[in-house]
Amino acid sequence: MTERREPPQDPEEFAHFTVHSTDQIYDSPWCGLRRDVVVLPDGAHQEYHVIEISNAVAVVPMLPDGRIVMIGQYRYPIGKTHWEVPAGRIADGEDPSVAAERELLEETGHRAGRLVPLPGFYPTNGISAHYAHAYCAYDCERVAELELDAAEQLIVRVFERCEVEALLDAGKIEDAFSAITLMYVLRGASS
């Protein structure tokens, strides 16, 4: 990365919608769905659906030699197995960095020497407040076997940095959490 400079200002905050009413359509430990009726700045009412998903972490595991650990994971909703970085939900009351260390260990069997924050992100901010905290895990070492849920099918593989770049540029990193965090690491955003 080249020299850092001060970023431009955020845009001026627009008037927020106010909530006229809320209808909780569904609730569960996995996700919720509500239908708000919001009051727009012009006074009109409008329905707005909001999906509720607890916040998540994504973590890029890097070995002392700079190689990157990824997992080949089956994702039921899309019916595909592809390369991803470890990621998962944050448990109730869990610190995001602890969740990142836990997912790293469970999904790759690695422990980080040093966990450094990357920019976080809202995967779908038009319909959910779901937020992902992101980290680069430097100086990882393998310390354990995988601890997988019955629903998790995955394999672990170590990639050269240039292989990760080739996967990205070929459009093979289709999981947004992975594409973002890997590109931040390649930019040196966590160094």
CB of 182 to a copy of itself, least distance (A): 9
CB of 34 to a copy of itself, least distance (A): 10
CB of 137 to a copy of itself, least distance (A): 18
b/e per residue 165-184 (b: at least 16 CB within 10 A): eebeeeeebebebbbbbbbb
CB of 41 to a copy of itself, least distance (A): 7
Cα separation, 58 vs 36, whole angstroms: 29
Structure-token pair, residue 129: 């407040």
Structure-token pair, residue 110: 């690695």
Are 128 and 31 a contacting pair, CB within 8 Å?
Answer: no
CB of 165 to a copy of itself, least distance (A): 8
Q: Report the residue number, 139 or 165, with the smaller CB distance to a copy of itself.
A: 165
CB of 114 to a copy of itself, least distance (A): 19
- Largest distance between two CA atoms of the chain: 58
Are 85 and 121 a contacting pair, CB within 8 Å?
Answer: no
Q: Report the residue number, 111 or 137, with the smaller CB distance to a copy of itself.
A: 137
Q: Report the residue number, 8 or 93, with the smaller CB distance to a copy of itself.
A: 8
Cα separation, 156 vs 69, whole angstroms: 7
User: Which residues, at least 6 apart from 102, have a Cβ–Cβ distance to it below 8 Å?
Assistant: 88, 94
Element (H, E) at 105: helix 96-108
Q: Report the residue number, 111 or 131, with the smaller CB distance to a copy of itself.
A: 131
Q: Report the residue number, 111 or 168, with the smaller CB distance to a copy of itself.
A: 168
Q: Report the residue number, 72 or 113, with the smaller CB distance to a copy of itself.
A: 72
